Amino acid sequence: MSETHKDPSGPLRGLRVLDVGTTIAGPLAATLMADFGADVIKIEHPKLGDAMRHWDPFKEGTSLWWKMIGRNKRSITLDLSCPEGKEIFLALVAEADVVIENFRPGTLERWGLGYPELRHANPGVILVRISGYGQDGPYAERPGYGTIAEAMTGVPSFTGFPDNPPTLAAFPLADSVAAMFACFSAMFAIYERDRNGKREGQIIDVSLFEPLFRIVESQVVAFDQLGQIKQQMGNRFAEEAPRNAYATKDGGWIAISCSTNRTFHRLARAMEREDLIDDPRFLSNTSRVAKAEALDAIVADWFRTQETAEAIQVLEAADVVAGPMLTIDQILEHPQFVARKTVTTVEDAELGPIRMQNVVPRFSRTPGTVRFAGPRKGEHTDDILAGELGMDDDRISKLREDGVV
């Protein structure tokens, strides 16, 4: 059996998902489902394909981004904007549980594929709509990318070091968080649909900015009740101290977090500075936060006298909450990552063995698996049209000649 035709396992086996998204948020939500056994059919434009196929880095002309985000999906090419493409899509919708899209609001409607049409084909289908600003409001029709969504959440305004510009994450943070919210929301909707006995679908409206804004937790209530506006503090944290990344003698970095008296006392003993435990400035987390700069200077001075490996040994022996700041080459050799099999290797027809992140979290009875990396564009078109929709070779050849697939 080929890598791209292994039977899926996992708790979502039997769930059918149509991924008509592009770039990151929509496709990643579908990937998360595919990892746990859902049969995800990736629908791509016949000429362009998914935008992630064109993202660096490349190896032998193949995007490595695509190999990750396209994994575990069957790929079919289909032009949704033409009548025959629409007809084929609705035939697939009839057998689907979830449709995921992240076009600009109104795009599906322009093609005659809005929710009324999908619901007519399948009353139980769940439509997950991901967009920059949501399906309504004054910004709804604006083009939305995760970078701008992240900027709007306020997160960059308190990320980074004082006197430096607001700092954006160096990966698609807003897209990735939105994808996770979209994934679990779809599962909530499926549970409700199947529990109520009516098999009635619904629309899930996910913006890129709101999920990330949701997890900033106390920002709104702190401003509402106290007028607080969180400021840039580098690697420090306004709610606890000491919490920072500290440079070691040999050029390494170690992160620590001490939010309780117990964890702070362990650090003080590890540093052989038990006098800090009874220091009036540091008697509680609140007082330590108030004197965070002075405390940071003391802790930083100690770390500067330590080799990284030796400091980790001392801190671990004292049960301090601490760890080295790792780079990707170190991660791939780290014993905890290795023991947990957090990185897996998958055989790929184009590139051979590829290492990538494994499926998380782990299930004891129905674990997810990485069955194959992102397939070639349209690799499964014939299989899907023939196997799922019963088309013969002549019909498929005609669709290809007409540019529909």
Residue 189 and residue 122 in contact, taking contact as beta carbons nearer than 8 Å: no
Strands 16-19 and 39-44: parallel
CA pair distance 82, 112, nearest whole angstrom:
10
**In 3D, which of 214, 240, 241, 218 has the Cα closest to residue 230?**
218
Residues 140, 146, 150, 156, Cα dihedral to 10°: -150
DSSP-derived 3-state class of residue 344? strand
**In 3D, which of 359, 366, 367, 271 has the Cα closest to residue 320?**
271
Sorted by sequence, the CB contacts under 8 Å of residue 312 that are 6+ apart come out as: 254, 322, 323, 324
Which two three-digit tokens encode residue 38? Answer: 């859902």
One DSSP character per residue, 24-68 reads: SHHHHHHHHHHHTT-EEEEEE-TTT--GGGGPSPEETTEEHHHHH
Sorted by sequence, the CB contacts under 8 Å of residue 325 that are 6+ apart come out as: 245, 252, 253, 254, 255
Q: Which of 79, 175, 296, 348 is catalytic?
A: 175
175 included as an active-site residue:
yes
Task: Compute and round to an integer the Cα radius of gyration of the chain.
Answer: 25
Residue 122 and residue 96 in contact, taking contact as beta carbons nearer than 8 Å: yes
Tell me the catalytic residues: 175
